Amino acid sequence: MFIKVDPISLVGQISPRSLQGAIALAYCADASDKNGGIRFAIPPYELCAPGITAVVYFAVRRMRFVQHGTAGEKQMQVANLVLPVFAIILTGWLAGWLGYISRSLSDGLVHFAYNVAMPALLVVTIAQEPARSLLEWRFLFAFGGGSIFCFLLVFLAVYTGLGRGVASSTMHGMAAAMTNTGFVALPILHSIYGQPAVLPAAVATVFVAAVMFPATVILLESEGRGDDGRARPVALMKQIVLNPMVLSTLIGLAWAITGLPMPLPLKAYLNIFAAALTPCALFAIGLGLSVEGITSNLTMSLVLAAVKLLIMPLIVYGLCAASNLDPLYTIAAVVCAAVPTAKTAYILAGEYKVEEELVAAMVSITTLLSIATLLGWLYALSRLAGQAS
């Protein structure tokens, strides 16, 4: 039998009994009528499950927004999908600000997400991809080229215009170009577009870890900022190879090249950890967010934030268009470019004792401002989402 769901009249609570049926129904939508109602083939026993219409409606609306919605509907749906993501960050900040959860626990959540949940997601996603689709040079050209261009733009402006040294100019450049792909872009793309969007986010994350991070260290070392110049290259190579993101990506690549299917128990095991990435990573970002840090170096931070959140995504989008990149990969590249400055930059600033306050302020202010700017970029890219589906 068929039932028509009216969006205006949807009410109810999610019932554990109806959840499984709701998920099944959401993927068995029959059609949509002209008035915005949705028709489903619903088994009779599911009609009595409380709250099922609400669950089905929102699940199917998520699929429909990339297929049938008008521009206004797409914008509304983007907001419905993205705002909860940033609400998790806000919840983390409120929990720390009110003292409900100690801010010191942020490090523990970060370590779990970074060392366990994220590697699990990368392995389970990349291992199931066809080997031929794993290396997309146009994505690397767009995201990597945009990152390097913005770094050089800021580096040269600070070095020549402000007369700062190599180390200070490097940290200014990295504050504007080293993007938080792993902790913000990857969870957002995964929660909105699912596992297909994880692969380009993983590539971007590896690029940051294997290219941007070492480049920063080399430039800082060139000004004699390190303690032991001879030990640094070996330590740097070890840090790159044993980086959880790089290592898990390599494991996934090796598995994909073999073409072997992943055993179901192992897949289920990894997916349990992978599911924890989004809440843990985003909550930890909010929990560690310092409003006080935003006020320090405010003018320079706002200038660099404009480069990071507006100019860099625009350059990356231009490179995506120039290289005729796949729509989903284009969205992923722009989102990866539009997320806040990586905390990795602050770790380097602290280790080398250069521009610590500026980089800390950049991490905080870009995290705050990206709530608006990233939403704007997703609105702008909503037309591509239909092609990506």
The residue count of the chain comes to 389
- Helix pair 71-97, 52-64: axis angle to 10 deg: 120
Q: Can you read off the two tokens belonging to residue 311?
A: 């100019």
Q: With bands split at pLDDT 50, 70 and 90, how would you rate the model's confidence at 290?
A: low
In percent, the amount of the chain with pLDDT more than 90 equals 20
Task: Read off the pLDDT of each residue in 161-165 and give the average, rounded to a whole number.
Answer: 89
Task: Read off the pLDDT of each residue in 224-236 and give the average, rounded to a whole number.
Answer: 58
Count Cα atoms within 13 angstroms, Cβ side, for 27.
5
Task: Read off the pLDDT of each residue in 344-362 and give the average, rounded to a whole number.
Answer: 82
Q: Is 47:367 a contact under the CB 8 Å cutoff?
A: no
pLDDT higher than 50, residue 324: yes
Helix (H) or strand (E) holding 3: strand 2-5
Q: Can you read off the two tokens belonging to residue 247?
A: 């290592």
Strand order in the sheet with 2-5: 2-5, 38-41, 29-32
Which pLDDT tens digit goes with each residue over 54-107?
Answer: 333 333 344 343 444 445 555 556 566 667 777 888 898 899 888 898 888 887
User: Rounded distance, CA 52 to CA 151, Å?
Assistant: 50
Grouping H, G, I as helix, E, B as strand and the rest as coil, residue 339 is: coil
- Locus of tokens 């202010």: 365
Q: With bands split at pLDDT 50, 70 and 90, how would you rate the model's confidence at 141?
A: very high
User: Who has greater pLDDT, 306 or 193?
Assistant: 306
The pLDDT mean for the chain works out to 75
Which residues does residue 341 pair with via DSSP β-bridges, in sequence order?
179
